[in-house]
Every structure is written in C-alpha cells, then in structure tokens.
C-alpha cells in the first residue's frame, strides 16, 4: 500500500483532531441542552399536574357531579390524557388509551401517596407520565403529557450537531491540506530547483525567502548551486582550452598519419601493423578532441540564439547526402514535421546516430522522420546485437561505451557521441532513448517538440 504524502498526513491529522474536538463539544452541548430541556418539560408537566390534581381533589371533597366534565377540561391538547384511578374504577379523558399499558408500579406509587414521573411510549407517542396522590380519597391522578415537540427538537439538535461535526472534520482536512501546501512550498521549490540542476539547468535557483528559518536554507542552496555552476563552467573551459591546445599538434599528427597511410604498401611486416595501429589511434584521438570541443562549447553556452524553423526531413536528407558511405533512404511521414532548433546541433545529432550505427551495428538500415502526438520523431534502426536494458541509460553518459568499456580499437569510439546527442536533444526540450527494433537490433528514437506555424 503506497504511503501517504506528508501534506496529506498533515491534512488528515488536522481533520481528525478537528473531528475529535467538535465531537467532544457536540456531546457536551447535547448532554447540557437535552438534559436542560427535558428537566424543564418535566417541571412544567409536574406543576400543571399538581394544579390539576388540586382541582380534582376539591371536586371529590364536595361530591360534585361534574367530575367527568372537569377531567375533560384538564386536558391540554389532542395528544394529552388524564386518568383517575379510584375504587377499582378508571376515568379517562383526552386521547383514549388502554389503562393497562401504564406500569402498575407507577399507579401504585400514586395511590400510596408518593408522587412519580416516568417517560413512556404509549400507542407510538412519547409521553411523560406524572402520577400524583389524591389526599381526600384512596385514588391516584395520572396525567400523560405528550413529548412530540420535545422529540422533534432533540432530532433537529442531533442532526445539527452531527452535521456540524462532519463539516468541521472536512474543513479541518481542507485547512490541513492548505496549510501543508503552504508549509511545504519551500520544499517543493527546493525539489524543483534541484531537479532542474540535475537535468542540466545550472542557473536554477531558489527565490529569496522572508522567513528567517527558510532564508538560510535558500541562501545555502543558492550558494552551493553557484559553486557547482562555476565548477562545471571551469571544467568545461579547461576541457575546451586543452582541446584547443591539442588541435595544432593533432593536425600535424593527422596530416603525418595520412602521408604514412598513403605509403602503407611500402612498409611491410611489424612496422606496417604498427603504422595501422598508430593511424587508427590518431583518428580516434582526433574524433575525441572534436567531441570534447563540442561538449565544452555546449556546456558554456547558456541559451540557443541561432534558432530557426527547420524541416526535419530535409535536414536528415542533407546529412545522409554528406555521407556517401551511408545509403539509407529517409522514410518521411506526411506532412513532414518541422521543429524550432539549431541546425548545426541537429545535424550533429543525426550524424552521431548514424556514426553509432556504423561503428557498432554495421550501419543503419532504416531512418524515419514522423509526427507523433505533437512531436517530431526521428528513428534510426540497425540490425546489430541491440542494447541490453541495463545499459540503455548509461550509453548516453559521457565516456560510457557500454559493453566495449576498456577495449581499444577503431570501432569502439570515445563514449562521447551519444552523450552529445543527449545534450543537444535536451537543449531542444526533447528526449532520446533506445529500444528494441522489431525483428532484432536497436532503434534509437529522438522526439522534439514540433514548431507551431
């Protein structure tokens, strides 16, 4: 089960705390209010019953014949009931009920001269039964006061408290989410800046913070990023300076090697094989220096200023035409995609992918330029041994030659060609990867955002 993020844990804790607090307050309000209203209703019903029983007692003392009319007048509503128990007789007025539904103990307490009250449900209606003695006769007066209005008030109050408790919990979660997002915003900005730097954007920085606790974090991070950017640029300048210094003697070595290569037939035996090894290493050294110059220049250039709308099909055709040894037709999609980019760098991307196919897989067998989900897509297929899944990211790192690491020879390369591809593609906000080619081999894929006309 995935673990909740810190933001949602804070939100849930705050929501749970709000729910528990409002629940405790709701229970307290319910107990106080319901108890108070119930006591008030009981006192009111008892006082009314005491007044009524005095009237009944007076009528019994005087032997009045209008007792039933008196009982009828004592009822306070259609749901109230008055019962008079005397000499085995029960007189009833108001809502008619079966006297047997009343507890015998309640009636007996009244007859024994002990006032009593009890909450009952009679024929589906909640009532408060008040039992009082009649001093002038062996009788008991029982009055049933309806509690329908009180029960409605209790139900409304309970719904109100429960709804308020749930809303308070939801508001607590919402408030916790908002507070967590605001509290974690500096961490989000830090993560974003660190990701940009890891992706090659060395100018990413944290904004200035006004909070004293966060200001030091932002200052330290920005200072570290400044130092890292300076170190990377210094290393790039060093690599560029070294490469520039090597170009003059390297040019002399390349020209001398070319002269010796033309005289190869005159140098037999071991000296000839040594010459072959020397010329191949000079060629490899020359390619490495050129790649180092390209990488150091790309590292030092912050932005692309030579951007133009480029027809990717035409660009790939031009690169193939400049390589007589590569006889692979371009399979264009319709319409041909266009991209906004630096023509020199995109030329280098295509050229390096073709070089990689020739050096490691016997040459490209398919080059396709397509439109795919708003992106221009370049595919270069070969029929070589393919790239193992565990090496598909490593081969785009600098000086990483995959399974050929540590080996020497004319076909091993310097490990900079694909790194340059990845660097140039990244500068165009694109992506590059390698996958299996249907039927065997490898397929190198470059995707760049299409230019909007």
Question: In 3D, which of 173, 239, 229 has the Cα closest to residue 205?
Answer: 229
Task: Check: CB of residue 380 under 8 Å from CB of residue 432.
Answer: no
Give pLDDT, residue 108: 86
Tokens of 185: 């915003």
Which among 115, 137, 153 is the end of a domain? 153
CA triplet 270, 411, 428: central angle to 5 degrees?
A: 150
Helix axes 269-300, 417-427, angle to 10 degrees: 20
Tokens of 230: 């300076």
Give pLDDT, residue 405: 47
The span from the CA of 167 to the CA of 19, in Å, is 9
CATH of the domain at 132: 3.30.450.20
The span from the CA of 284 to the CA of 413, in Å, is 7
How many distinct structural domains can be found in the chain?
A: 3
The tally of CA atoms less than 13 A away on the side-chain side of residue 51 is 9
- pLDDT string in tens for the chain (453-residue length): 567 777 788 888 889 999 999 999 999 999 999 999 999 988 998 898 888 888 888 888 877 777 778 888 888 788 888 888 887 788 888 888 888 888 888 888 888 888 998 998 888 889 999 999 887 777 888 999 999 889 999 999 999 999 999 999 999 999 988 888 887 777 788 888 888 877 767 778 888 877 787 788 888 888 888 888 888 778 767 766 766 677 678 788 878 888 878 878 878 888 888 888 888 887 777 777 777 666 666 655 655 557 899 999 999 999 988 887 777 878 776 677 899 998 988 999 999 999 889 888 888 999 999 988 889 999 999 988 989 999 988 888 877 665 554 444 445 556 788 888 998 898 888 999 999 999 889 999 999 999 875
Characterise 124 by phi-psi region: left (phi > 0), alpha (psi -120 to 50), beta (else): left
Same domain, 18 and 115: yes
Q: How far apart are the first and last CA of the chain?
A: 47
CATH of the domain at 384: 3.30.565.10
Which among 153, 169, 202 is the end of a domain? 153
The span from the CA of 227 to the CA of 220, in Å, is 11
Tokens of 268: 């037999």
Residue 200 inside a domain? The answer is: no
Characterise 207 by phi-psi region: left (phi > 0), alpha (psi -120 to 50), beta (else): beta
Structural domain boundaries enclosing 329: 304-449
What is the Cα 77 distance to its own chain's centre?
A: 62
Task: Check: CB of residue 73 under 8 Å from CB of residue 52.
Answer: no
Same domain, 34 and 129: yes
Give pLDDT, residue 85: 87
* Cβ burial, residue 396 (10 Å; 0-12/13-18/19+): buried
SS3 439: coil
Same domain, 354 and 320: yes
Which among 251, 283, 298 is the end of a domain? 298
């Amino acid at each position: 089960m995935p673990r909740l993020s810190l933001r949602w844990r804070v939100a849930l804790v705050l929501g749970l705390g709000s729910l528990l607090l409002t629940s405790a307050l709701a229970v307290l309000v319910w107990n106080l209010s319901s108890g108070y209203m119930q006591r008030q209703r009981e006192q009111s019903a008892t006082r009314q019953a005491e007044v009524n029983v005095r009237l009944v007692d007076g009528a019994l003392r005087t032997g009045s014949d209008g007792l039933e009319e008196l009982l009828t007048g004592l009822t306070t509503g259609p749901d109230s009931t008055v019962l008079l128990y005397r000499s085995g007789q029960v007189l009833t007025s108001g809502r008619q009920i079966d006297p047997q539904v009343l507890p015998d103990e309640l009636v007996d307490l009244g007859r024994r001269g002990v006032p009593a009250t009890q909450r009952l449900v009679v024929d589906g209606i909640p009532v408060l039964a008040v039992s009082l003695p009649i001093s002038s006769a062996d009788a008991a007066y029982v009055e049933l006061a309806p509690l329908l209005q009180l029960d409605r008030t209790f139900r409304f109050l309970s719904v109100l408290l429960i709804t308020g408790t749930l809303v308070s919990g939801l508001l607590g979660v919402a408030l916790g989410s908002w507070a967590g997002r605001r509290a974690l915003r500096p961490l989000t900005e830090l993560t974003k800046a660190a990701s940009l730097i890891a992706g090659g954007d060395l100018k990413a920085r944290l904004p200035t913070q006004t909070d004293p606790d966060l200001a030091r974090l932002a200052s330290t991070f920005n200072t570290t990023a400044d130092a890292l950017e300076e170190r990377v640029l210094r290393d790039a300048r060093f690599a560029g300076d070294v490469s520039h210094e090597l170009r003059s003697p390297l040019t002399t070595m390349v020209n001398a090697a070319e002269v010796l290569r033309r005289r190869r037939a005159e140098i037999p035996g071991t000296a000839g094989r040594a010459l072959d090894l020397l010329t191949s290493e000079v060629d490899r050294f020359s390619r490495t220096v050129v790649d180092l110059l390209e990488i150091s220049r790309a590292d030092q250039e912050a932005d692309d200023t030579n951007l133009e709308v480029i027809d990717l099909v035409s660009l790939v055709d031009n690169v193939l035409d400049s390589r007589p040894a590569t006889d692979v037709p371009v399979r264009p999609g319709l319409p041909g995609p266009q991209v906004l980019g630096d023509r020199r760098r995109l030329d280098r991307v295509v050229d390096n992918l073709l070089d990689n196919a020739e050096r490691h897989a016997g040459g490209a067998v398919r080059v396709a330029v397509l439109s795919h989900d708003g992106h221009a897509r370049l595919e270069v297929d070969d029929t070589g041994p393919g790239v193992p899944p565990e090496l598909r990211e490593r081969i785009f790192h600098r000086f990483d030659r995959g399974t050929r690491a540590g080996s020497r020879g004319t076909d091993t390369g310097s490990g900079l060609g694909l790194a340059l591809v990845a660097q140039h593609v990244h500068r165009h906000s694109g992506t590059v990867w390698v996958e299996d080619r249907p039927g065997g081999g490898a397929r190198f894929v470059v995707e760049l955002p299409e230019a909007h006309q």
